[in-house]
Amino acid sequence: MVEKVVEVGILFDFYGKLLSSRQISVIELFYIHDLSLAEIGEELDITRQGVYDTLKRAEKKLYEYEENLGLVHEFKKNTLAIKSIIEISRDILTILKDKDKIASKDILFKIEKIENTGRKILKNSREVGN
């Protein structure tokens, strides 16, 4: 259940504004405020079954948005690429501190990796933006 809460939370962060106001309320009350279906029903003046149906439709929409748009997938991919850039940068710092004879070749290789990773991130950003 915790995994689904996290997953729906992430999808909601990306696509929540695309849901109806009722769906937004139900998702927030259920996943963020941890209210039961009955409590949400009382809060919104609808039946428990109505809350359940609204919740399931909202979840389905969030998953469909991700399937069609893929923003969460791209975000995760870019996060991994950025972590790679940070790791490569740390490697360059280590090489510079050691300053041996092959350092310049290692540094050049690392800089090329940083440049290529940056280009991939930009390319992915443009694809998502279009």
In this predicted model, what pLDDT tens digit does every residue of 45-90 receive, in sequence order? 999 999 999 999 999 999 999 999 999 998 888 888 888 888 888 8
Mean pLDDT, range 24-30, rounded to an integer? 96
54 and 25 part of one domain? yes
Domain limits for position 18 = 2-69
Q: Do 6 and 64 lie in a common domain?
A: yes
Residue 26 or 121, more confident: 26
Final residue of a domain: which of 17, 44, 69? 69
CATH number for the domain including 10?
1.10.10.10
Give helix then strand counts, H and E, for the chain.
6, 0
* Helices (H), ranges, 28-101: 37-44, 48-69, 71-98
| Overall number of domains in the chain | 2
At 99-122, the pLDDT tens digits run: 665 667 777 788 888 888 888 877
Q: What is the DSSP letter of 102?
A: T
- Domain boundary, last residue among 69, 92, 119: 69
Q: Please give the model's pTM, rounded to 2 decimal places.
A: 0.73
Residue 8 has a CB neighbour count (10 Å cut-off) of 19
Is residue 79 located within the same domain as residue 120? yes
Residues 61, 95, single domain; the answer is: no
| Shared-domain flag, residues 31 and 42 | yes
27 has a pLDDT exceeding 70: yes
What integer pLDDT is reported at residue 118 of this predicted model? Answer: 80
